[in-house]
Amino acid sequence: MNNPKIIAHRGASGHAPENTMAAFRLAMEHHADGIELDVMLSRDGHIVVIHDATVDRTTNGTGKVSTLTLEELQKLDAGNGEHIPTLQEVLDAFGDQWLINIELKNYATPFDRLPVVVAQMVKRMGLTDSVIISSFIPFNFPRFRRHCPNVKLGLLTLPGHAKLKLWRLFRYDALHPYFEDVDADLVAAEKAHQRQINTYTVDEPADIRRLAALGVDSIITNLPQEARTALETAA
């Protein structure tokens, strides 16, 4: 049985408001090996940690993230009194303690400066060894790498798309497929190219054990404590 890393999806989001400092602290308490989080730019150019293009689902506010300033965003309640953090806050608190998977969420604004400013921040803070950058948009990768060449890049793929030949056109260090797409053939193909497989979003113990047996490198989960238990009981 392989022993993959446990990466807390948006923090320990099964038990705390997603993408908040509380969720990230809880992930550490639950002995995750790292966290996954989502970033985009506020109207005034700050890198904020939030999943959706709008604040409607995860806060008590409404509106697009890109039309709100950092001050306006941080006045909102992101759950249990938590605020929307900046990437700077998260990296200051956890950057040198564990793996941080940063997903670039500029899907609505693919030509903005998000890859560049995130690369500059990671490089400035000396976190090139503890960060992995992921995105469903592979065109983000050369823009990021131009400013920060030594950080690992993870290609996210939609369900059913992990084996597309299109991905051969792009340079990346890890594949981040939907967990149901992972089988022995996919693992063998990626390992043949010296790439990791970090699969999302896996909460069921049976799925966690199956993926570990296949040899994935990381399991991205909403429930890091329960995922750890699933692996330990399988062993």
Active-site hit among 31, 51, 147, 193: 51
Q: How far apart are CA 80 and CA 83, in angstroms?
A: 9
Active-site hit among 9, 15, 30, 176: 9
Closest CA to 177 of 187, 193, 162, 192: 162
Q: What is the DSSP letter of 4?
A: P
- 3-class state of residue 226 by DSSP: helix
Closest CA to 19 of 6, 43, 38: 38
Active site residue 51: yes
Confirm if 136 and 157 have CB atoms less than 8 A apart.
Answer: yes
Q: How far apart are CA 102 and CA 49, in angstroms?
A: 9
Q: How far apart are CA 222 and CA 24, in angstroms?
A: 11
Catalytic positions are: 9, 51
